[in-house]
Amino acid sequence: MEQLNYILKRTLQIIPVLFFVTILIFVMMRLIPGDPASVMLGDKATPELLKQVQARMGLDKPYLVQYLIFLRNLLSFDFGNSLLYVVPVSQLLAKRIVVTLTLTIMAAIFVIVISFPLGYLAGRKKDRLPDQIIRTSALVALSMPQFWLGILCLLLFGLKLRWFPVGGWGSDWGEHLRSLVLPAFTEALATSALMIRNLRNNVVDVARSDYVDFARSKGLKESVVRSRHIVRNALISTVTLLALRIGGMLGGAVIIETVFALPGVGSLMVQSVFSRDYSVVQAVVFMFASLVLVVNLITDVSYSFLDPRVKLE
């Protein structure tokens, strides 16, 4: 009951945060110099032409009216038309969200598969050879720029070995999944390195903490001590870290998408900011914000499952 209450309360709190985000993004986009009409026209923008195009885009209306139109559209689950592409934003977004979500899920699986066993192993074997090897490799992985790693992956597994396509998204789900392996791996590597380091230190930390000693002294079986105490406690900040990273990935991995030629949300957002396509930017930011808020909520709730001592308040 307590948990249900908490979840309900937190869900309701999402609304004012989202509202604030809509104001922030609206104001910020209009504060940035350059408007969609002048970007579209570039050098050829004479003042008269600019006015005509602005009117066509609905930018001649007062800011408040533009904002209210944006809000009204949101409430009716319609994001309006892209100013640049002149098609409904939802049409542009629908497929890209699939790409980004699939990429994020696959990357998250990679992160878990890579980092949980390695991090745990390093923590248990603290300062011994496995620990040293794992930690050093994690550092090397962390220091590799994504675009660099991505190109190397494409070169080796795409061009030379031909295991995976050289970028692109393909046309059916088999191809989609296949073309996501390299980008998901590239995306996962740095995060895995972070998680390994975090998990290792938590395991070391918890393993020698007093309550584990206490649990042992109570005569609990070693396996119970490990599963109930060490792993669970070690996971709390690790789950936080994973959630933070997943939150970031959901916003689209611009560099990964560019290197692997994937039509994801990130590149659409950057392009739209560059072209000042207000309606697309606003929609993407709103979607992204909603997703991140839900991930945060899930993370907070999961704390109490991982460690019953954490009270939800």
Tell me which residue has tokens 């930690």: 135
Per DSSP, the residues of 146-172 read HHHHHHHHIIIIIIIS-SS-SS---SS
Residues 175-234 that bind other proteins (CB under 8 A): 175, 177-178, 181, 190, 193-194, 197-198, 201-202, 205, 210-211, 214, 223, 226-227, 230-231, 233
Measure the CA–CA gap between 240 and 296, rounded to whole angstroms: 9
Q: Which listed residue (69, 112, 133, 301) binds other proteins by CB under 8 A?
A: 112
263 lies in the site for other proteins, by CB under 8 A = yes
Quick one: which segment of 63-71, 72-80, 249-257 binds other proteins (CB under 8 A)? 249-257
Radius of gyration of the chain (CA): 24
How far, in Å, are 141, 187, 260 from residue 153 at the CA level?
13, 12, 10
Kindly identify the residues of this chain, within the stretch 154-173, that bind other proteins according to CB under 8 A. 154-155, 158-159, 162-170, 172-173
Nearest to 264 by CA among 147, 102, 100, 106: 100
Residue 283 makes contact with other proteins by CB under 8 A: no
- Nearest C-alpha neighbor of 195 from the set 102, 298, 116, 285: 116
Among 4, 64, 75, 86, binds other proteins (CB under 8 A): 86
User: Residue from 95, 98, 101, 301 that binds other proteins (CB under 8 A)?
Assistant: 95
Minimum CB–partner distance for residue 64 and other proteins (Å): 21
Interaction mask 31-50, other proteins, x per CB under 8 A: xxxx---xxxxxxxxx--x-
Report if residue 25 touches other proteins, rule: CB under 8 A: yes
Of 66 and 237, the one with the shorter C-beta distance to other proteins is 237
